[in-house]
Amino acid sequence: MKTLLLVGIGAGDPDYITVQAIKALRRSDLILLMDKGPAKHKLNALRREICARFLDGHTPRFAEGLQPERERDAADYRASVDELNRDKQAVFEQLIDQQLADGETAALMVWGDPSLYDSSIRIAEAIAASRSDFAFEVIPGITSLQALTARHRIPLNSIGRAVEITTGRLLADGWPPGVDSVAVMLDAKDSYRRFVGQGLAIYWGAYVGTSDEILIAGPLDELAERIASTRAAARERNGWIMDSYLLRKEGAQE
Ligand SMILES: C[S@@+](CC[C@H](N)C(=O)[O-])C[C@H]1O[C@@H](n2cnc3c(N)ncnc32)[C@H](O)[C@@H]1O
């Protein structure tokens, strides 16, 4: 039997790592690294820092997979994600076949938590469905939304109300019905701008929990343009950006 641990490592600060995640990494023989794009170097450096700081002398092997890229602006978004996940599954299976011996355990250090806008659970499920010598476990981590609300010192929901967690792509279609708080991730196009003039507050954060962290909060009408220009400049400076935000109807009781 080969075991894969999907270990949530938190979304930025190495200190977000949980005791359970440290224990999981300490029982791993192999660490899989699967990041891509311009952020890869920084995010993998953080993963290695976590191992150096918390594994107490345990030295697992590292294996870096060549992460496939999704076709940008594909006409059929869902089909392009499905195809990407099939390609990622092939990379995972190759690493498991070639780098992991029977009886060994590998860990994938998942950014934030594996349940939130991350495909690793779906990929591990697909692998488990196709082979009998493979098992996987999930270890939760601190999500980027928890990091964001903690840094802004705000609750995620207003009293007794629902929150919608969504993407910039979906928010661009309009405000979700029935909620007064919307948490937005994966927004490459500043979708918050279309809600100026509607009495919303925004709590925005980029690279939250890291040394590059930027936080801006207050009335959206006053801050939308400042956030857009700050975001563009940070993206230019670093070559990549990782930001998320909470929009709340002003007057909603926190
Ligand atoms: C593919 S999702 C992964 C989310 C991750 N699994 C989690 O638990 O937060 C990546 C998105 O998460 C958000 N994100 C992740 N880390 C962040 C951070 N440190 N600061 C701000 N946003 C972050 C951004 O919206 C980014 O586009």
Per-residue pLDDT of 175-227, as tens digits, reads 999 999 999 999 999 999 999 999 999 999 999 999 999 999 999 999 999 99
Looking at 139, 172, 198, which one is the last position of a domain? Answer: 139
Q: How far is the CA of 230 from the centre of ligand 1 (A)?
A: 18
CATH number, domain containing residue 76:
3.40.1010.10
- Residues of the chain with pLDDT > 90, as a percent, come to 78
Is 32's pLDDT higher than 80?
Answer: yes
pLDDT in tens, 62-106: 998 877 776 666 777 778 888 888 888 888 899 999 999 999 999
Is 29's pLDDT higher than 90?
Answer: yes
User: Do residue 175 and residue 115 come from a single domain?
Assistant: no
Q: Token digits for 66?
A: 């060549």
Looking at 97, 119, 139, which one is the last position of a domain? Answer: 139
Rounded to the nearest integer, the mean pLDDT of the chain is 92
253 — pLDDT class (breaks 50, 70, 90): low
The answer to whether position 254 is within a domain reads: no
User: Do residue 159 and residue 187 come from a single domain?
Assistant: yes
User: Do residue 29 and residue 118 come from a single domain?
Assistant: yes
User: Do residue 96 and residue 164 come from a single domain?
Assistant: no
User: Do residue 8 and residue 126 come from a single domain?
Assistant: yes
Q: How far is the CA of 113 from the centre of ligand 1 (A)?
A: 9
Average the pLDDT over 16-22 and give the result.
Answer: 97
Poorest-confidence range of 27-36, 120-129, 232-241?
27-36
Ligand 1 contacts CB of residue 180 (under 6 A): no
Q: How far is the CA of 165 from the centre of ligand 1 (A)?
A: 12
The answer to whether position 68 is within a domain reads: yes
The answer to whether position 221 is within a domain reads: yes
User: Do residue 134 and residue 152 come from a single domain?
Assistant: no
Average the pLDDT over 160-176 and give the result.
Answer: 95
Domain that holds residue 38: 2-139
Q: How far is the CA of 91 from the centre of ligand 1 (A)?
A: 23
Ligand 1 contacts CB of residue 111 (under 6 A): yes
Ligand 1 contacts CB of residue 175 (under 6 A): no
User: Do residue 128 and residue 205 come from a single domain?
Assistant: no
Q: What atom in ligand 1 is closest to the CA of residue 141? A: 8
For the chain, what is the domain count?
A: 2
Q: How far is the CA of 242 from the centre of ligand 1 (A)?
A: 6
Ligand 1 contacts CB of residue 16 (under 6 A): no
CATH number, domain containing residue 195:
3.30.950.10
